[in-house]
Amino acid sequence: MAKSPASDKPPASADTSGSLASTHPNWLAGLGAMAKAQEQGSKAIEALVNDGLAFQRKSQAEAQQRLHEATERLSHLASDFGQQTTVRVDRLEHLFEDRVAKALQRLGMPTLYDLQALTERVAQLEAQLAKATAAPKTAAKTARPTQAAAKAPAKSATKPAASRTPRKA
């Protein structure tokens, strides 16, 4: 069997026991430093966690603000784009209406204004005709009827105005 190196040492003398006694306070000081580091380490970790939460809240608030600003910018851009599109569609619509009106005019088709003017003119003529036909009847009632006129029933040469409606083309 081989001897271990520890067994080769002589038993502890007074000199070695004194060095052990002097290292013991150092050992205890090291243990105390380690305990203090653990205590302060947990406090430091708590402080770091709190700092991290505060930073996270601040970052989220900043991100929300930037998102809000970007949303506003995009909504303004969209509304501007919508307005520009509306203006362009209106211009295109007017251009189309003008071209269709010119084509219909070339074909001899009356415009809406022409039809309205004709309708007003027909209404005026009907009113004048009604006055003209009503005037002889009132004049005939006031004049003395002759015997021949009394015997023969009066025939009207014209139809009433309500039965004369213009035909649609």
Residue 133 lies in a domain: yes
| Closest C-alpha to 110, from 120, 122, 118 | 118
CA dihedral 75, 81, 82, 84 (to 10 degrees): 150
Categorize the per-residue pLDDT at 71 as very low, low, confident or very high, splitting at 50, 70 and 90.
very high
- pTM for the whole structure: 0.34
Indicate whether 129 belongs to any domain.
yes
The more confidently predicted of residues 166 and 124 is 124
Q: Quick one: average pLDDT of 61-88? A: 91
On the 0-12 / 13-18 / 19+ scale of CB atoms within 10 A, 88 is exposed
Residue 27, in any domain of the structure: no
- The verdict on residue 125 lying in a domain is yes
Residue 157: the pLDDT is: 47
Q: Alpha-carbon distance 132 to 143, whole Å?
A: 17
**Into how many domains does the chain fold?**
1
The residues, ordered by sequence, that sit 6+ positions from 104 with a Cβ below 8 Å of its Cβ are 111
Q: Which domain holds residue 114?
A: 110-138
**How sure is the predictor about 154, in pLDDT bands with cuts at 50, 70 and 90?**
low
Average pLDDT of the residues in 147-165? 50
Q: What is the mean pLDDT of residues 90-108?
A: 90
- Residue 8 lies inside a defined structural domain of this protein: no
Which amino acid type is present at position 10? P
Q: Is residue 121 part of a domain?
A: yes
